[in-house]
Chains A and B, each alone.
Chain A
Amino acid sequence: MPAQTVLEELTRNELTHEHVQQRVDEWAKRIEALYREVESWLPRGWTARRGASVAMHEELMRKMAVEPRQLPTLELVHDGAVRVKLRPYGLWIIGTNGRIDLVKGQQRYFLLDHAGTFEAADWHVASASARRDSKPFDGAWLRAMLAA
C-alpha cells in the first residue's frame, strides 16, 4: 500500500522518481480543480483570473531528479481591483497534503488538504492566526470572507 500521508512518505524510505512525479502531477490537477471550484462559488460582481505562476521545486523533487513545475495562482477581482490572491505554498508538509495560501489584504488563510495521498481532496481553511480552528473550505465560507 502506498504511503497515505506525507509523514509516511518521509519515513518509509520507499520514494521513487515515479512516485514523486505522480504526486507533483496530481498536485497540479488538485490546484486546477480547486480554482475551478472557487470560480464557481464567486458571488455576482466578482471574477477570477490567473495570476503569475509560481515555481515548484521542493526538496523531494530535487532529491528524486524531478523537474521544476510552474503552478498557477488565482486572483479574485472586484471593482476592477485584485482583492484576493490564492498561491500554492507547498505539497510536502508534514501534517497536511498540500497548502495553498489565500491572502486578502493583511489577512492570510491557509487552505489545507486533509485527504490522504492520491485521495479526493478534502480542503479545509484556517486563519493564519488561528490555525487549529479549521473549517471545511466551501462556497459559503468563501462568500462570507469576500463580503467581510
Chain B
Amino acid sequence: MKSLPRIGALYEEIDGHFDAELDNAVAKGDTAAAQRIEQKQLLNDQAYFVLCWGQLEAEIDEACRTAIRQRKASTNWDIRRGFDFYDPDDKRLSGLSFDRPVALILDRDSGPGKPYARVMAYYETRNKIAHGRLEATRIDVSAVVADFYLIQGALTR
C-alpha cells in the first residue's frame, strides 16, 4: 500500500479547500453555493475511497498469492492438499470470487466488526460506487485509510 499515504494526504488537502469554500459560502448565506460544495465533497470522498480501496485490494491479492505459494510448497500433504488446486500466478486466481481469497487470509467466521467483515463491507461500498450507485453519505477517507492499515496488519499470509 505504498501509495496510500500520498493518496490520503492529497485527499486531506483537497477536502480542506472544500471546507474553506464551504465556510465562505455559509458566511455569505449563499445556500446554493454551500450545497454545490457539499455535493463536490460527497463525490470527492467516493473518488478517493475507490483509489484507497485499490491499494488495499492489491495488498489482499498479494497476501493471498503468498499464502497459496507457501502452502503449496509445504512437504506436509495435510497443509498442501487444500491448496494444490490454486494457481498463485493465475491473473485471476483461478477465477475465485473476491470473498474466497479474502477467506484464505482472514477468518470468515470471526464475526461483525472484525477484519473479514470490514473488508467485505468496504468491498460492497466500493462496488456500489464503481457501478454508479453513489453513496449519499460522506466518507471519512482519513479514518478509512487508518482502518486499511489495521486490516493490512491482520492479513495472515
Contact surface of A with B, Cβ cutoff 8 Å? 1, 3-8, 10-11, 58-60, 90, 92-96, 99, 103, 108, 112, 116, 126, 128-132
Contacts and interface: CB of A to CB of B under 8 A. Distances in A.
A139 B21 CA distance: 30
Contacts of A126: 142
Given A1-B112, A94-B125, A10 B142 contact: no
Contacts, number: 71
A10 B113 contact: no
B115 to A, nearest CB: 13
A7 B136 CA distance: 13
A5 B138 CA distance: 14
A116 B113 contact: yes
* Chain B interface, DSSP helix/strand/loop, else mixed: helix
A94 B140 contact: yes
B16 interface: yes
13 contacts: A4-B112, A4-B113, A7-B122, A10-B125, A92-B138, A94-B138, A95-B143, A95-B144, A96-B143, A112-B143, A130-B12, A131-B142, A132-B142
Given A4-B112, A99-B140, A10 B12 contact: no
Contacts of A103: 23
Interface of B: 8, 12, 16, 19, 23, 49, 112-113, 117-118, 121-122, 124-125, 135-147
A118 to B, nearest CB: 13
Contact of B121 (A8, A96, A99): A8
B113 A59 contact: no
* Chain A interface, DSSP helix/strand/loop, else mixed: mixed
A59 B135 CA distance: 10
A32 B44 CA distance: 31
Given A11-B121, A129-B12, A94 B139 contact: yes
B137 A8 contact: no
